[in-house]
Chain A
Amino acid sequence: MVNFGNLLQYLAVQSPQQILSGDQLNTTAMAAYTLPALPYAYDALEPHISAQIMELHHSKHHAAYVANLNNALQSHVVAVTSSDIASQIALQAAIKFNGGGHINHSLFWQNLAPASSEEAKSEAAPSLTAEIQKTWGSFDAFKKAFSTTLLGIQGSGWGWLVKDGSGLRIVTTKDQDPVVGGEIPIFGVDMWEHAYYLQYLNGKAAYVENIWNVINWKTAEERFLGTREDIFKTLSAAL
Protein backbone atom coordinates (compact mmCIF):
# COMPACT_ATOMS: atom_id res chain seq x y z
CA MET A 1 0.00 0.00 0.00
CA VAL A 2 1.41 3.29 -1.08
CA ASN A 3 1.65 6.06 1.42
CA PHE A 4 0.43 9.08 -0.47
CA GLY A 5 2.00 11.56 1.92
CA ASN A 6 5.40 9.99 1.40
CA LEU A 7 5.03 10.17 -2.34
CA LEU A 8 4.34 13.88 -2.20
CA GLN A 9 7.35 14.24 0.03
CA TYR A 10 9.51 12.59 -2.59
CA LEU A 11 8.16 14.74 -5.31
CA ALA A 12 8.96 17.74 -3.17
CA VAL A 13 12.49 16.49 -2.57
CA GLN A 14 12.94 15.96 -6.26
CA SER A 15 11.96 19.48 -7.11
CA PRO A 16 13.46 21.79 -4.51
CA GLN A 17 12.75 24.85 -6.61
CA GLN A 18 9.06 24.20 -6.33
CA ILE A 19 7.28 26.92 -4.41
CA LEU A 20 4.06 25.91 -2.79
CA SER A 21 3.60 28.30 0.08
CA GLY A 22 1.79 31.45 1.07
CA ASP A 23 0.49 33.85 -1.53
CA GLN A 24 2.68 32.27 -4.18
CA LEU A 25 0.27 29.35 -4.30
CA ASN A 26 -0.81 29.76 -7.85
CA THR A 27 -0.23 27.95 -11.08
CA THR A 28 2.59 30.17 -12.21
CA ALA A 29 4.56 29.31 -9.06
CA MET A 30 4.58 25.64 -10.00
CA ALA A 31 7.93 24.45 -11.19
CA ALA A 32 7.43 21.73 -13.74
CA TYR A 33 9.13 18.36 -13.59
CA THR A 34 11.26 17.56 -16.59
CA LEU A 35 12.33 14.42 -18.37
CA PRO A 36 15.84 13.52 -17.19
CA ALA A 37 18.44 12.81 -19.85
CA LEU A 38 19.65 9.23 -20.04
CA PRO A 39 23.22 8.69 -18.80
CA TYR A 40 23.89 6.63 -21.99
CA ALA A 41 22.76 6.51 -25.61
CA TYR A 42 19.51 4.78 -26.62
CA ASP A 43 21.45 1.94 -28.25
CA ALA A 44 23.93 1.53 -25.40
CA LEU A 45 22.06 -1.37 -23.79
CA GLU A 46 21.92 -3.45 -26.97
CA PRO A 47 21.62 -6.32 -27.59
CA HIS A 48 19.84 -6.78 -24.26
CA ILE A 49 17.42 -3.89 -24.67
CA SER A 50 16.96 -2.54 -28.19
CA ALA A 51 17.45 1.11 -29.07
CA GLN A 52 13.87 1.28 -30.34
CA ILE A 53 12.53 0.17 -26.97
CA MET A 54 14.78 2.58 -25.10
CA GLU A 55 13.82 5.53 -27.29
CA LEU A 56 10.07 4.92 -27.03
CA HIS A 57 10.33 4.10 -23.35
CA HIS A 58 12.22 7.27 -22.51
CA SER A 59 11.05 9.87 -25.05
CA LYS A 60 7.39 8.76 -25.14
CA HIS A 61 6.37 6.75 -22.08
CA HIS A 62 8.47 8.50 -19.46
CA ALA A 63 7.77 11.87 -21.10
CA ALA A 64 4.03 11.18 -20.84
CA TYR A 65 4.29 10.49 -17.11
CA VAL A 66 6.15 13.78 -16.66
CA ALA A 67 3.62 15.76 -18.70
CA ASN A 68 0.63 14.17 -16.97
CA LEU A 69 2.22 14.66 -13.55
CA ASN A 70 2.73 18.35 -14.25
CA ASN A 71 -0.87 18.68 -15.45
CA ALA A 72 -2.23 16.90 -12.39
CA LEU A 73 -0.09 18.97 -10.01
CA GLN A 74 -1.14 22.17 -11.68
CA SER A 75 -4.79 21.21 -11.34
CA HIS A 76 -4.06 20.28 -7.75
CA VAL A 77 -2.67 23.74 -7.01
CA VAL A 78 -5.80 25.30 -8.50
CA ALA A 79 -7.93 23.01 -6.36
CA VAL A 80 -5.94 23.97 -3.25
CA THR A 81 -6.17 27.71 -3.89
CA SER A 82 -9.91 27.44 -4.42
CA SER A 83 -10.35 25.17 -1.39
CA ASP A 84 -11.89 22.54 -3.65
CA ILE A 85 -11.30 19.46 -1.52
CA ALA A 86 -13.29 17.15 -3.80
CA SER A 87 -11.05 17.95 -6.76
CA GLN A 88 -7.94 17.58 -4.62
CA ILE A 89 -9.00 14.07 -3.69
CA ALA A 90 -10.02 13.22 -7.26
CA LEU A 91 -6.54 14.19 -8.48
CA GLN A 92 -4.69 11.88 -6.10
CA ALA A 93 -4.90 8.85 -8.39
CA ALA A 94 -3.40 10.77 -11.31
CA ILE A 95 -0.63 12.23 -9.12
CA LYS A 96 0.21 8.82 -7.71
CA PHE A 97 0.21 7.08 -11.08
CA ASN A 98 2.15 9.69 -13.01
CA GLY A 99 4.36 10.71 -10.10
CA GLY A 100 5.15 7.06 -9.52
CA GLY A 101 5.85 6.61 -13.22
CA HIS A 102 8.27 9.52 -13.14
CA ILE A 103 10.09 8.28 -10.02
CA ASN A 104 10.24 4.64 -11.14
CA HIS A 105 11.60 5.37 -14.59
CA SER A 106 14.11 7.91 -13.23
CA LEU A 107 15.43 5.28 -10.81
CA PHE A 108 15.38 2.63 -13.56
CA TRP A 109 17.49 4.53 -16.10
CA GLN A 110 20.13 5.16 -13.44
CA ASN A 111 20.22 1.56 -12.30
CA LEU A 112 20.99 0.33 -15.82
CA ALA A 113 24.35 0.51 -17.59
CA PRO A 114 25.91 -0.76 -20.82
CA ALA A 115 26.91 -4.42 -20.46
CA SER A 116 30.54 -3.69 -21.35
CA SER A 117 30.96 -1.04 -18.66
CA GLU A 118 32.61 -1.53 -15.30
CA GLU A 119 29.36 -0.50 -13.63
CA ALA A 120 27.60 -3.55 -15.06
CA LYS A 121 29.87 -5.95 -13.19
CA SER A 122 28.65 -7.11 -9.81
CA GLU A 123 32.20 -6.53 -8.49
CA ALA A 124 31.26 -2.84 -8.53
CA ALA A 125 29.03 -3.56 -5.53
CA PRO A 126 31.19 -5.35 -2.93
CA SER A 127 29.14 -4.44 0.14
CA LEU A 128 25.83 -5.11 -1.55
CA THR A 129 26.83 -8.48 -3.00
CA ALA A 130 28.16 -9.54 0.41
CA GLU A 131 24.81 -8.71 1.95
CA ILE A 132 23.01 -10.50 -0.91
CA GLN A 133 25.06 -13.64 -0.28
CA LYS A 134 24.30 -13.40 3.41
CA THR A 135 20.57 -13.08 2.75
CA TRP A 136 20.02 -15.56 -0.08
CA GLY A 137 22.95 -17.93 0.42
CA SER A 138 24.47 -17.15 -2.97
CA PHE A 139 24.34 -14.54 -5.68
CA ASP A 140 22.74 -17.06 -8.05
CA ALA A 141 20.05 -17.91 -5.52
CA PHE A 142 19.23 -14.21 -5.27
CA LYS A 143 19.07 -13.81 -9.05
CA LYS A 144 16.78 -16.80 -9.27
CA ALA A 145 14.50 -15.50 -6.53
CA PHE A 146 14.38 -12.04 -8.10
CA SER A 147 13.67 -13.43 -11.58
CA THR A 148 10.90 -15.68 -10.27
CA THR A 149 9.32 -12.71 -8.53
CA LEU A 150 9.47 -10.63 -11.72
CA LEU A 151 7.82 -13.38 -13.76
CA GLY A 152 5.09 -13.79 -11.16
CA ILE A 153 3.81 -10.23 -11.56
CA GLN A 154 0.24 -10.33 -12.84
CA GLY A 155 -0.27 -7.37 -15.15
CA SER A 156 1.89 -4.26 -15.20
CA GLY A 157 4.34 -3.54 -12.44
CA TRP A 158 7.88 -3.47 -11.15
CA GLY A 159 10.21 -5.70 -9.19
CA TRP A 160 12.63 -4.09 -6.73
CA LEU A 161 15.52 -5.02 -4.52
CA VAL A 162 15.05 -2.85 -1.45
CA LYS A 163 16.84 -2.23 1.81
CA ASP A 164 14.40 -2.44 4.67
CA GLY A 165 16.07 -1.36 7.88
CA SER A 166 19.37 -3.17 7.60
CA GLY A 167 18.12 -6.15 5.60
CA LEU A 168 17.49 -6.76 1.93
CA ARG A 169 14.16 -7.77 0.46
CA ILE A 170 12.57 -8.33 -2.95
CA VAL A 171 9.29 -6.50 -3.42
CA THR A 172 6.94 -5.82 -6.30
CA THR A 173 4.84 -2.74 -6.93
CA LYS A 174 1.83 -2.74 -9.22
CA ASP A 175 1.36 -0.44 -12.20
CA GLN A 176 3.37 2.69 -11.34
CA ASP A 177 3.20 2.50 -7.58
CA PRO A 178 6.62 3.60 -6.35
CA VAL A 179 8.56 2.10 -3.47
CA VAL A 180 7.65 4.36 -0.59
CA GLY A 181 7.70 4.17 3.16
CA GLY A 182 10.95 3.30 4.85
CA GLU A 183 12.28 1.06 2.08
CA ILE A 184 15.27 2.13 0.04
CA PRO A 185 15.02 1.10 -3.63
CA ILE A 186 18.37 -0.34 -4.70
CA PHE A 187 17.40 -1.29 -8.22
CA GLY A 188 14.16 -1.83 -10.08
CA VAL A 189 13.16 -3.79 -13.17
CA ASP A 190 10.25 -2.58 -15.27
CA MET A 191 7.86 -5.43 -16.07
CA TRP A 192 5.39 -3.41 -18.11
CA GLU A 193 5.06 -4.97 -21.53
CA HIS A 194 6.29 -1.76 -23.17
CA ALA A 195 9.67 -2.39 -21.50
CA TYR A 196 10.38 -5.48 -23.62
CA TYR A 197 7.61 -6.34 -26.06
CA LEU A 198 9.06 -4.94 -29.32
CA GLN A 199 12.13 -7.12 -28.85
CA TYR A 200 11.06 -10.09 -26.75
CA LEU A 201 7.34 -10.30 -27.64
CA ASN A 202 5.65 -12.65 -25.18
CA GLY A 203 9.03 -14.09 -24.16
CA LYS A 204 9.39 -12.10 -20.99
CA ALA A 205 11.56 -14.78 -19.36
CA ALA A 206 14.30 -13.99 -21.89
CA TYR A 207 14.02 -10.27 -21.07
CA VAL A 208 14.36 -11.04 -17.37
CA GLU A 209 17.39 -13.22 -18.06
CA ASN A 210 19.08 -10.55 -20.15
CA ILE A 211 18.38 -7.61 -17.86
CA TRP A 212 21.04 -8.96 -15.50
CA ASN A 213 23.64 -8.00 -18.12
CA VAL A 214 22.78 -4.32 -17.82
CA ILE A 215 22.21 -3.76 -14.10
CA ASN A 216 24.30 -0.85 -12.84
CA TRP A 217 25.93 -2.34 -9.76
CA LYS A 218 27.83 0.85 -9.00
CA THR A 219 24.55 2.73 -8.61
CA ALA A 220 23.12 -0.20 -6.66
CA GLU A 221 26.05 -0.10 -4.24
CA GLU A 222 25.67 3.65 -3.73
CA ARG A 223 21.98 3.29 -3.02
CA PHE A 224 22.64 0.39 -0.66
CA LEU A 225 25.19 2.40 1.32
CA GLY A 226 23.20 5.61 1.26
CA THR A 227 19.97 6.81 2.79
CA ARG A 228 16.62 7.31 1.12
CA GLU A 229 17.25 11.01 1.09
CA ASP A 230 20.57 10.51 -0.70
CA ILE A 231 18.85 8.56 -3.45
CA PHE A 232 16.26 11.18 -4.14
CA LYS A 233 18.77 14.01 -3.88
CA THR A 234 20.85 12.32 -6.56
CA LEU A 235 17.70 11.82 -8.53
CA SER A 236 16.55 15.39 -8.22
CA ALA A 237 19.82 16.67 -9.60
CA ALA A 238 19.01 14.90 -12.85
CA LEU A 239 15.40 16.04 -13.12
Chain B
Amino acid sequence: MSSTLLRTVPALRGALRASGAAKPAAALASTSFVRGKATLPDLSYDYGALEPHISGKIMELHHKKHHQTYVTGLNSALETIAEAESKGDFTKAASVAPLLNFHGGGHLNHTLFWENLAPASRDGGGEPSGVLKTAINEDFGSFDTFRKQMNTALAGIQGSGWAWLVKDKQSGTLGLVTRANQDPVSGPYTPLLGIDAWEHAYYLQYENRKVEYFEAIWNVINWKTVASRFEKA
Protein backbone atom coordinates (compact mmCIF):
# COMPACT_ATOMS: atom_id res chain seq x y z
CA MET B 1 0.00 0.00 0.00
CA SER B 2 2.53 2.55 1.11
CA SER B 3 4.83 1.84 -1.76
CA THR B 4 2.28 3.12 -4.23
CA LEU B 5 3.46 6.62 -3.44
CA LEU B 6 7.01 5.82 -4.32
CA ARG B 7 8.79 5.24 -7.52
CA THR B 8 11.27 2.63 -6.42
CA VAL B 9 10.29 0.63 -9.48
CA PRO B 10 8.64 2.13 -12.54
CA ALA B 11 5.72 -0.28 -12.44
CA LEU B 12 4.50 1.27 -9.23
CA ARG B 13 3.69 4.56 -10.91
CA GLY B 14 0.53 3.12 -12.38
CA ALA B 15 -0.46 1.92 -8.99
CA LEU B 16 -0.68 5.48 -7.73
CA ARG B 17 -3.47 6.07 -10.16
CA ALA B 18 -5.11 2.80 -9.39
CA SER B 19 -5.44 2.75 -5.66
CA GLY B 20 -2.71 4.54 -3.79
CA ALA B 21 -4.34 7.90 -4.26
CA ALA B 22 -7.43 6.75 -2.49
CA LYS B 23 -5.70 6.24 0.82
CA PRO B 24 -2.97 8.84 1.12
CA ALA B 25 -3.27 9.30 4.84
CA ALA B 26 -2.89 5.61 5.55
CA ALA B 27 -0.05 5.30 3.11
CA LEU B 28 1.83 8.27 4.45
CA ALA B 29 1.46 7.18 8.04
CA SER B 30 2.76 3.71 7.35
CA THR B 31 6.18 3.02 8.75
CA SER B 32 7.07 0.80 5.81
CA PHE B 33 7.03 3.98 3.76
CA VAL B 34 10.55 4.81 4.84
CA ARG B 35 11.98 1.80 3.03
CA GLY B 36 12.29 3.88 -0.10
CA LYS B 37 12.48 7.55 -0.87
CA ALA B 38 9.84 9.50 -2.68
CA THR B 39 11.15 10.72 -6.02
CA LEU B 40 10.00 13.32 -8.49
CA PRO B 41 8.00 11.57 -11.22
CA ASP B 42 8.77 12.36 -14.86
CA LEU B 43 6.17 14.22 -16.86
CA SER B 44 4.72 12.26 -19.76
CA TYR B 45 4.93 15.39 -21.96
CA ASP B 46 7.37 18.25 -22.50
CA TYR B 47 7.27 21.40 -20.38
CA GLY B 48 6.10 23.39 -23.42
CA ALA B 49 3.48 20.84 -24.45
CA LEU B 50 0.57 22.50 -22.66
CA GLU B 51 1.09 25.87 -24.34
CA PRO B 52 -0.54 28.24 -24.93
CA HIS B 53 -2.80 27.29 -22.03
CA ILE B 54 -0.01 26.77 -19.49
CA SER B 55 3.39 28.21 -20.37
CA GLY B 56 6.52 26.11 -20.55
CA LYS B 57 8.16 28.30 -17.91
CA ILE B 58 5.33 27.70 -15.45
CA MET B 59 5.43 23.95 -16.08
CA GLU B 60 9.18 23.77 -15.65
CA LEU B 61 9.24 25.72 -12.37
CA HIS B 62 6.15 23.97 -11.11
CA HIS B 63 7.56 20.50 -11.73
CA LYS B 64 11.28 20.94 -11.29
CA LYS B 65 11.20 23.36 -8.35
CA HIS B 66 7.88 23.31 -6.53
CA HIS B 67 7.10 19.61 -6.81
CA GLN B 68 10.74 18.77 -6.08
CA THR B 69 10.53 20.82 -2.88
CA TYR B 70 7.55 18.75 -1.73
CA VAL B 71 9.44 15.53 -2.52
CA THR B 72 12.47 16.74 -0.57
CA GLY B 73 10.29 17.96 2.29
CA LEU B 74 8.42 14.67 2.41
CA ASN B 75 11.62 12.62 2.58
CA SER B 76 12.98 14.93 5.24
CA ALA B 77 9.81 14.60 7.33
CA LEU B 78 9.91 10.83 7.00
CA GLU B 79 13.53 10.70 8.06
CA THR B 80 12.79 12.82 11.11
CA ILE B 81 9.92 10.53 12.02
CA ALA B 82 12.01 7.37 11.52
CA GLU B 83 14.79 8.78 13.66
CA ALA B 84 12.37 9.87 16.38
CA GLU B 85 10.70 6.47 16.26
CA SER B 86 13.99 4.65 16.64
CA LYS B 87 14.65 6.65 19.80
CA GLY B 88 11.14 6.12 21.09
CA ASP B 89 10.53 9.86 20.91
CA PHE B 90 6.92 9.76 19.80
CA THR B 91 6.27 13.36 20.80
CA LYS B 92 8.90 14.42 18.30
CA ALA B 93 7.47 12.07 15.66
CA ALA B 94 3.98 13.47 16.15
CA SER B 95 5.24 17.04 15.88
CA VAL B 96 6.24 16.36 12.28
CA ALA B 97 2.64 15.58 11.29
CA PRO B 98 1.95 19.03 9.75
CA LEU B 99 5.07 18.80 7.58
CA LEU B 100 4.19 15.25 6.54
CA ASN B 101 0.69 16.35 5.57
CA PHE B 102 1.93 19.42 3.69
CA HIS B 103 4.79 17.86 1.76
CA GLY B 104 3.20 14.44 1.39
CA GLY B 105 0.03 16.10 0.17
CA GLY B 106 2.02 18.33 -2.18
CA HIS B 107 3.77 15.29 -3.67
CA LEU B 108 0.53 13.37 -4.06
CA ASN B 109 -1.50 16.29 -5.44
CA HIS B 110 1.07 17.27 -8.04
CA THR B 111 1.61 13.66 -9.14
CA LEU B 112 -2.13 13.30 -9.73
CA PHE B 113 -2.25 16.73 -11.41
CA TRP B 114 0.48 16.03 -14.00
CA GLU B 115 -1.29 12.82 -14.94
CA ASN B 116 -4.69 14.43 -15.34
CA LEU B 117 -3.27 16.97 -17.80
CA ALA B 118 -2.31 16.35 -21.43
CA PRO B 119 -1.39 18.47 -24.47
CA ALA B 120 -4.41 19.82 -26.33
CA SER B 121 -2.99 18.19 -29.47
CA ARG B 122 -3.03 14.77 -27.85
CA ASP B 123 -5.49 13.66 -25.15
CA GLY B 124 -6.12 17.09 -23.66
CA GLY B 125 -9.42 18.93 -23.71
CA GLY B 126 -12.80 18.02 -25.11
CA GLU B 127 -15.37 16.24 -23.03
CA PRO B 128 -15.44 12.94 -21.20
CA SER B 129 -17.11 9.96 -22.84
CA GLY B 130 -18.53 6.61 -21.78
CA VAL B 131 -19.53 5.84 -18.22
CA LEU B 132 -17.79 8.93 -16.85
CA LYS B 133 -19.85 11.14 -19.14
CA THR B 134 -23.01 9.38 -18.00
CA ALA B 135 -22.05 9.80 -14.35
CA ILE B 136 -21.28 13.52 -14.80
CA ASN B 137 -24.61 14.06 -16.53
CA GLU B 138 -26.42 12.23 -13.76
CA ASP B 139 -24.70 13.94 -10.85
CA PHE B 140 -24.27 17.47 -12.24
CA GLY B 141 -27.02 17.69 -14.87
CA SER B 142 -24.59 18.28 -17.71
CA PHE B 143 -20.89 18.58 -18.47
CA ASP B 144 -21.29 22.32 -18.83
CA THR B 145 -22.88 22.64 -15.39
CA PHE B 146 -20.09 20.54 -13.90
CA ARG B 147 -17.45 22.75 -15.51
CA LYS B 148 -19.12 25.90 -14.25
CA GLN B 149 -19.42 24.52 -10.72
CA MET B 150 -15.77 23.47 -10.74
CA ASN B 151 -14.71 26.95 -11.88
CA THR B 152 -16.87 28.58 -9.21
CA ALA B 153 -15.29 26.32 -6.60
CA LEU B 154 -11.80 27.20 -7.86
CA ALA B 155 -12.49 30.93 -7.90
CA GLY B 156 -13.92 30.72 -4.39
CA ILE B 157 -10.78 29.29 -2.80
CA GLN B 158 -9.52 31.83 -0.26
CA GLY B 159 -5.77 31.44 -0.34
CA SER B 160 -3.84 28.49 -1.75
CA GLY B 161 -5.53 25.20 -2.52
CA TRP B 162 -7.01 22.76 -4.96
CA ALA B 163 -10.39 21.80 -6.36
CA TRP B 164 -11.16 18.16 -7.13
CA LEU B 165 -13.74 16.09 -8.90
CA VAL B 166 -14.16 13.14 -6.55
CA LYS B 167 -16.04 9.90 -6.33
CA ASP B 168 -17.77 9.15 -3.06
CA LYS B 169 -16.61 5.67 -2.10
CA GLN B 170 -19.87 4.74 -0.40
CA SER B 171 -22.53 6.19 -2.66
CA GLY B 172 -20.47 5.99 -5.84
CA THR B 173 -21.64 9.46 -6.81
CA LEU B 174 -19.47 12.27 -8.10
CA GLY B 175 -18.89 15.49 -6.23
CA LEU B 176 -16.69 18.57 -5.99
CA VAL B 177 -14.45 19.33 -3.06
CA THR B 178 -11.83 21.96 -2.36
CA ARG B 179 -8.78 21.47 -0.19
CA ALA B 180 -6.68 24.15 1.49
CA ASN B 181 -2.96 24.40 0.78
CA GLN B 182 -1.65 20.89 0.07
CA ASP B 183 -4.20 18.90 2.05
CA PRO B 184 -4.76 15.75 0.03
CA VAL B 185 -8.15 14.30 -0.82
CA SER B 186 -8.68 11.39 1.53
CA GLY B 187 -11.30 9.73 3.67
CA PRO B 188 -14.55 8.98 1.87
CA TYR B 189 -13.43 10.38 -1.48
CA THR B 190 -11.35 9.12 -4.37
CA PRO B 191 -9.74 11.99 -6.32
CA LEU B 192 -10.48 11.82 -10.05
CA LEU B 193 -9.44 15.24 -11.37
CA GLY B 194 -7.49 17.94 -9.58
CA ILE B 195 -6.85 21.55 -10.53
CA ASP B 196 -4.13 23.49 -8.77
CA ALA B 197 -5.31 26.94 -7.64
CA TRP B 198 -2.02 28.00 -6.02
CA GLU B 199 -0.77 31.24 -7.53
CA HIS B 200 2.45 29.55 -8.65
CA ALA B 201 0.33 27.42 -11.01
CA TYR B 202 -0.63 30.39 -13.16
CA TYR B 203 0.80 33.70 -12.00
CA LEU B 204 3.70 34.08 -14.47
CA GLN B 205 1.25 33.85 -17.36
CA TYR B 206 -2.10 35.02 -16.01
CA GLU B 207 -1.00 37.29 -13.12
CA ASN B 208 -4.06 38.21 -11.05
CA ARG B 209 -6.46 37.04 -13.78
CA LYS B 210 -6.98 33.60 -12.32
CA VAL B 211 -10.41 33.19 -13.89
CA GLU B 212 -8.71 33.12 -17.30
CA TYR B 213 -6.47 30.29 -16.11
CA PHE B 214 -9.47 28.36 -14.80
CA GLU B 215 -11.12 28.74 -18.23
CA ALA B 216 -8.00 27.77 -20.19
CA ILE B 217 -7.11 24.67 -18.23
CA TRP B 218 -10.08 22.76 -19.63
CA ASN B 219 -8.20 22.63 -22.93
CA VAL B 220 -5.57 20.40 -21.37
CA ILE B 221 -7.59 18.08 -19.12
CA ASN B 222 -6.78 14.44 -19.80
CA TRP B 223 -10.22 12.81 -19.70
CA LYS B 224 -8.70 9.37 -20.40
CA THR B 225 -6.89 9.54 -17.06
CA VAL B 226 -9.97 10.82 -15.26
CA ALA B 227 -12.14 8.06 -16.80
CA SER B 228 -9.58 5.45 -15.84
CA ARG B 229 -9.51 6.67 -12.23
CA PHE B 230 -13.31 6.67 -12.17
CA GLU B 231 -13.58 3.13 -13.47
CA LYS B 232 -10.99 1.80 -11.02
CA ALA B 233 -12.33 3.68 -8.01
Contact = CB atoms under 8 A, between A and B. Distances in A.
Contacts, number: 53
A60 B208 contact: yes
A176 B200 contact: no
B180 interface: yes
A144 B174 CA distance: 47
B225 to A, nearest CB: 26
B180 A155 contact: yes
Interface in B182-233: 182, 198-200, 203-204, 207-208
A154 interface: yes
A202 B66 contact: yes
For this complex, into which size category does the number of interface residues on chain B fall? 20 to 34
B146 interface: no
For this complex, into which size category does the number of interface residues on chain A fall? 20 to 34
A64 B200 CA distance: 19
B102 interface: yes
Contacts of A43: none
A56 B204 contact: no
A93 B199 CA distance: 21
B208 A201 contact: no
A192 interface: yes
Contacts of A97: 158
A61 interface: yes
Interface string A189-214: 00011100110011000000000000
Q: 4 closest pairs, A vs B, by CB?
A: A155-B181, A175-B159, A193-B199, A156-B159
Given A154-B181, A197-B203, A202-B69, 13 more contacts: A155-B182, A155-B198, A174-B159, A176-B158, A176-B159, A193-B160, A193-B199, A193-B200, A194-B199, A194-B208, A197-B200, A198-B204, A202-B61
